[in-house]
């Protein structure tokens, strides 16, 4: 628990001196099909920029209702009940753990010293609650990446504590892959060797072999320059996609691998018309067409497709993705920037402008 008080002090310092580091990505470089301001996204029923929900990639009303209760009352019990009722292997559990941790982390950032007190109370009053331990571990991971420079002493201290809490969460919930998925982010930050990583990964796939969230977390490890080459990351993604069962979103994993390397390649002329991008986009589109409509990771894939389809000037297909995710922007690629809603709104406007410049209209868009 001492690390929570350390984080409170760190958040107070951060509020005074500003962010210690901001990771910038060059992936979002809009194309210019014309004058996007001339098109009106509201004509398609799209949500105004200032009302876009930054918390989630897509709808999860049960989660939003519980978050509202927890943040309004500062009582953790509703969060515990929701996680206890979420199946261990369900992708919803991973996303809900992330959301609760993110809410506590953001509260602490906004209210240094007092924000996120419900999580501290949760851990103090119910130390054997598996959901609380998983949220605590993810909270520490998010705080490490948000508040500290990679490689700095406090960064490593927080991640070491996160690794300890991951172990506690795993013991409290045998068969739950989430504590090990959280540890994949720890592995990336602490520089696990391939052998160490493989030990954690084996525990994940033993419990949930087709878990898309786990594969996304693992992909980030392989994409880090000090862990693996681009070839290793691509091999991991394409192998997982090839082995994906019918209806799995793992077929979209190569698109996420391409995105992770965009800073290295997006200056190449014609990159978005290349065979590599085309194959990855087609695989992701296939995944969206065969996945369950209520798959909680489906919005993640659709948001990333918007970026690529707009860059490829495939306006109609971009619009088809937009009408299915609009209203929520808590996903890649938008969350890589300081203002996710603004980044999303730019691409949405470009898609609308390109669609209308090629004869499209609200009347012709099939929902």
The pair of structure tokens assigned to 19 is 């962010």
- What pLDDT is recorded for position 265? 58
> Cβ(135)–Cβ(122) under 8 Å?
yes
CA 197 to chain centre: 20
> Cβ(331)–Cβ(321) under 8 Å?
no
328 bridge partner residues: 53
The pair of structure tokens assigned to 356 is 């209308």
The fold adopted by the segment(s) 59-209 is 1.25.40
Cα(177)–Cα(208) distance, rounded to whole angstroms?
Answer: 7
What burial letters (b/e) apply to 98-107, b meaning 16+ CB within 10 Å? Answer: bbbbbbbbbb
Choose among 108, 105, 100: nearest CA to 76: 100
> Cβ(193)–Cβ(175) under 8 Å?
no
DSSP 127-196: TT-HHHHHHHHHHHHHHHHHHS-TTSHHHHHHHHHHHHHHHHHHHHSTT-SHHHHHHHHHHHHHT--HHH
CA 109 to chain centre: 19
Per-residue model confidence as pLDDT tens for the chain (367 residues): 555 544 444 444 344 333 333 333 444 544 444 444 446 778 889 999 999 998 889 999 999 999 999 999 999 999 999 999 999 888 999 999 999 999 999 899 889 888 899 999 999 999 999 999 999 999 999 999 877 665 578 889 999 999 999 999 999 999 999 999 999 999 988 889 989 999 999 999 999 999 999 999 999 898 875 555 678 888 899 999 999 888 899 999 999 999 988 766 556 668 888 899 999 999 999 999 999 998 999 999 999 999 999 999 999 999 999 999 999 999 999 988 889 999 999 999 999 999 999 998 888 886 5
The pair of structure tokens assigned to 137 is 């571990």
The pair of structure tokens assigned to 108 is 């602490």
Cα(39)–Cα(350) distance, rounded to whole angstroms?
Answer: 8
DSSP 64-120: HHHHHHHHHH---HHHHHHHHTS-TT-HHHHHHHHHHHHHHHHHHHHSTTTTTHHHH
Choose among 223, 205, 222, 225: nearest CA to 214: 205
Cβ neighbours, 10 Å, residue 19: 10
pLDDT, one tens digit per residue, over 30-76 is 444 444 444 677 888 999 999 999 888 999 999 999 999 999 999 99
- 268 burial via Cβ count (<10 Å: 0-12, 13-18, 19+): exposed
The pair of structure tokens assigned to 112 is 């240094």
Domain ranges of the chain: 28-52+228-367, 59-209
- What pLDDT is recorded for position 147? 72
Residue 306's H or E segment, with its range, is helix 298-311
Choose among 300, 306, 303: nearest CA to 319: 306
Tell me the average pLDDT of the chain: 86
- What pLDDT is recorded for position 57? 92
Q: Tokens 């993810």 sit at which residue?
A: 138
- Count of alpha carbons within 13 angstroms of residue 81, beta-carbon side: 10
Cα(11)–Cα(258) distance, rounded to whole angstroms?
Answer: 34
- What pLDDT is recorded for position 1? 54
> Cβ(96)–Cβ(213) under 8 Å?
no
> Cβ(96)–Cβ(82) under 8 Å?
yes
What burial letters (b/e) apply to 283-316, b meaning 16+ CB within 10 Å? Answer: bbbebbeebeeebbbbbbbbbbbbbbbbbbbbbb
pTM: 0.85
CA 56 to chain centre: 9
> Cβ(319)–Cβ(33) under 8 Å?
no
Cα(273)–Cα(183) distance, rounded to whole angstroms?
Answer: 36
């Amino acid at each position: 628990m001492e690390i929570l008080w350390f984080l409170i002090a760190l958040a107070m310092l951060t509020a005074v001196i500003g962010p210690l580091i901001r990771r910038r990505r060059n992936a979002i470089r809009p194309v210019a099909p014309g004058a996007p301001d001339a098109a009106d996204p509201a004509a398609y029923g799209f949500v105004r920029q200032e009302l876009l929900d930054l918390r989630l990639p897509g709808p999860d009303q049960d989660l939003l209702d519980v978050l509202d209760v927890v943040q309004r009352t500062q009582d953790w019990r509703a969060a515990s009940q929701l996680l206890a009722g979420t199946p261990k292997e369900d992708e919803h559990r991973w996303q809900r753990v992330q959301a609760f941790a993110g809410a506590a982390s953001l509260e602490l950032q906004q209210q240094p010293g007092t924000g996120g007190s419900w999580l501290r109370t949760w851990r103090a009053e119910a130390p054997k609650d598996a959901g609380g331990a998983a949220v605590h571990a993810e909270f520490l991971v998010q705080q490490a990446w948000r508040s500290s420079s990679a490689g700095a002493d406090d960064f490593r201290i927080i991640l070491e504590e996160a690794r300890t809490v991951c172990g506690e969460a795993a013991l409290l919930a045998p068969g739950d892959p989430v504590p090990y998925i959280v540890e994949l982010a720890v592995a990336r930050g602490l520089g696990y060797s391939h052998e160490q990583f493989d030990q954690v990964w084996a525990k994940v796939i033993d419990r949930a072999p087709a878990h898309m969230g786990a594969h996304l977390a693992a992909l980030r490890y392989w994409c880090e320059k000090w862990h693996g080459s681009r070839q290793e990351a691509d091999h991991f993604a394409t192998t997982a996609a090839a082995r994906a069962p019918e209806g799995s979103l793992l077929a979209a994993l190569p698109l996420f691998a391409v995105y992770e390397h965009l800073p290295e390649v997006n200056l190449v002329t014609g990159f978005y018309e290349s065979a590599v991008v085309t194959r990855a986009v087609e695989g992701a589109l296939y995944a969206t067409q065969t996945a369950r409509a209520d798959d909680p990771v489906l919005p993640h894939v659709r948001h990333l497709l918007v970026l690529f389809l707009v860059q490829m000037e495939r306006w109609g297909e971009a619009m088809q993705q937009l009408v299915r995710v609009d209203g929520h922007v808590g996903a890649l690629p938008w969350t890589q920037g300081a203002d996710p809603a603004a980044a999303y709104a730019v691409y949405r406007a470009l898609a609308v402008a390109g669609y209308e410049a090629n004869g499209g209209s609200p009347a012709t868009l099939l929902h």
